[in-house]
A and B are shown apart, each in its own frame.
Chain A
């Protein structure tokens, strides 16, 4: 026995890809009892722009986390309206893992999520509004600061405001100063808001006192 040169890169036949790779074949494979086949199907569906609805439907009942993870990656790649609205629905899921993965996925889709952000930030559920602020954390979009300023200026829920203030400390400019001062005045008896706002003001620095 020794070091031995591999003659081919593939050690095992790729049985899980035996089903035809056209759209119909892949959609059938998405319901295969073997998670490996479902995972490969979810991955190969990346080349079919109309696959988002089937993938979203699969997310609802898929039990294997490794399949779910690939579905989310494919949806992020497809990035159409159906994919985005499906991911937004995941923000309401009781499944913490799925919710967090959806937040991560939406962060990668600035142009697709931007037109829907106002609606999300005004959602009746405070948890959804917090998750929307979480999406803003890494969103590459020029309106992030504006959205955050609106949140701290108008959201009645302390936890939503606290989440937004944390982020404003990183991305805020002098434009956020007056809203930050007003926020302190709105929650005078909330030590965390006082602390987080002072920290954000300090970080924004010049012109914010």
Chain B
């Protein structure tokens, strides 16, 4: 007989474990969401009791079930201006600090990874054009990478559904997109502004090509890696960053749980991580 509910004790036990593994803390208000997914995964694995499932989750050598659970517990959708408080942080806090310490007019370099279908890198470009007056004085290079060549092709095409652009105000849609029926095509000017490249974060030979980056956006990617891979990726990002460079993670991710290489910076708009100056 399959179990139909999760007890309070089991929920607390799961919550502590999941927080330790992922940094995601579920409040009691998320109880229904969590219980439903836990029960689904228990059923998928033929586990009659929570304890049986929890022990599998905890001790499975491959970590496969933990990964499956992470996938269902995290909502992975992408759209323009998702978590745009970090873009506000970029223009109000990070870029001003970077240019204040810069002794030449070398271009600022922003790396968005994974690119997915391009909403993030194009979104950064739009945000800078609209909200960063210093763009008249500084060149900015936006590079965006993904391991999936198919998704990179989609990103380069810049073709989006209504859902992907739902957060954009009408004047930005009119300015930067061409509408055809229910589809939106990103402007050629923006397509020309973003360089898309294929990279495997876990491949040091590929990662070491990326250097002198000022700001990395790596949101909701590391959560899908195991602990060791996450640490390796963080170390590669550290070397890709210029001294004083910043890395922005997803709202449920914390670099402090992954690596001690970075400084935590609490800006008014967001918490981000910085490679110390002089390193």
Q: Is A108 a contact of B211 with CB atoms below 8 Å? A: no
Main DSSP-derived SS at the B contact region? mixed
Q: How large is the interface on B (under 10, 10 to 19, 20 to 34, 35 or more residues)?
A: 35 or more
Q: Which of B195, B213, B231, B239 contacts A39 (CB 8 A)?
A: B239
Chain B residues within 8 Å of A, Cβ to Cβ? 7, 9, 12-13, 16-17, 20-21, 51, 55, 58-61, 63, 105-107, 109, 125, 128-129, 135-143, 190, 192-195, 197, 204, 208-213, 227-228, 231-232, 235, 238-239, 259-261, 279
Q: Which of A6, A43, A137, A141 contacts B141 (CB 8 A)?
A: A6
Instruction: Kindly name the residue among A43, A77, A203 whose own CB sees the greatest number of chain B CB atoms within 10 A.
Output: A43
Q: Does A140 contact B (CB under 8 A)?
A: yes
With known contacts A108-B227, A140-B58, A4–B208 Cβ distance under 8 A: no
Q: Does A198 contact B (CB under 8 A)?
A: no
Residues of B within 8 A of A141 (CB): 59, 61
Q: Which of B138, B192, B194, B213 contacts A1 (CB 8 A)?
A: B138
Residues of B within 8 A of A12 (CB): 211-212
Q: How many residues of A contact B (CB 8 A)?
A: 46
Q: Is A69 a contact of B260 with CB atoms below 8 Å? A: yes
A43 to B204, CA, bound (A): 8
Number of A-B contacts (CB under 8 A): 120
Give min CB distance, A147 to chain B, whole Å.
Answer: 12
A170 to B10, CA, bound (A): 9
Q: Is B228 a contact of A66 with CB atoms below 8 Å? A: no
With known contacts A65-B260, A77-B228, A5–B195 Cβ distance under 8 A: yes
Q: Is B197 a contact of A9 with CB atoms below 8 Å? A: yes
Q: Across the two chains, which residue of chain A brings its CB closest to B21? A: A138
Residues of A within 8 A of B142 (CB): 3, 6
Give min CB distance, A39 to chain B, whole Å.
Answer: 7
A10 to B211, CA, bound (A): 5
Q: Which of A1, A10, A73 contacts B235 (CB 8 A)?
A: A73
Q: Is A66 a contact of B59 with CB atoms below 8 Å? A: no
Instruction: Kindly name the residue among A6, A73, A104, A144 whose own CB sees the greatest number of chain B CB atoms within 10 A.
Output: A6
Q: Which of A4, A11, A43, A203 contacts B13 (CB 8 A)?
A: A203
Q: Does A155 contact B (CB under 8 A)?
A: no
Q: List 19 A-B contacts (CB under 8 A).
A: A3-B129, A3-B141, A4-B107, A4-B140, A5-B141, A10-B210, A44-B204, A65-B260, A66-B261, A69-B259, A70-B235, A76-B228, A138-B20, A140-B60, A170-B13, A171-B58, A203-B9, A203-B12, A205-B9
Residues of A within 8 A of B137 (CB): 1
Interface string of A61-87 (1 = CB under 8 A from B): 000011001100100110000000000
With known contacts A10-B209, A77-B228, A1–B9 Cβ distance under 8 A: no
Residues of A within 8 A of B209 (CB): 9-10
